[in-house]
Amino acid sequence: MDRKELIAEIKLLNRLLDEAHNRAVAQFALIDKLTAASLHVQGLLKKLALEGSGAAKRRRNKG
């Protein structure tokens, strides 16, 4: 492999590494958003369950 081919190869590898890095960053950003959304939903479900059990208790006390 001569110098010219070597430089071309290094450029190609650098481009591939950059692309992989960018994809990983984008993927982590997505996972972060997914995590926030998932926690939000889990929090809402917890609140719903609490409200549901409170309402059931109130109904029992009335009856």
Partner 1 sequence: MQHPLQIVLVVDDHRDTAEMIAEFLREVGFDSHTANTGLDALRIYDALRPALIITDESLAGTIAGSELVRVLRRKYGPAVGRALFLTGAPDTVSSLPTDVVLEKPVDLETLIAAVRSILGGPPAARESGAAASARR
- Piece of the chain touching partner 1 by CB under 8 A; list 1-9, 10-18, 46-54: 46-54
- Piece of the chain touching partner 1 by CB under 8 A; list 2-10, 13-21, 27-35: 27-35
Interface with partner 1 (CB under 8 A), residue total 17
Retrieve residue 47's tokens.
Answer: 């609140």
Distances (CA, A) of 2 to 12, 13, 15, 16, 42: 15, 17, 20, 21, 59
54 near partner 1, rule: CB under 8 A: yes
Q: Which chain residues interact with partner 1 by CB under 8 A?
A: 27-28, 31-40, 42-43, 46, 50, 54
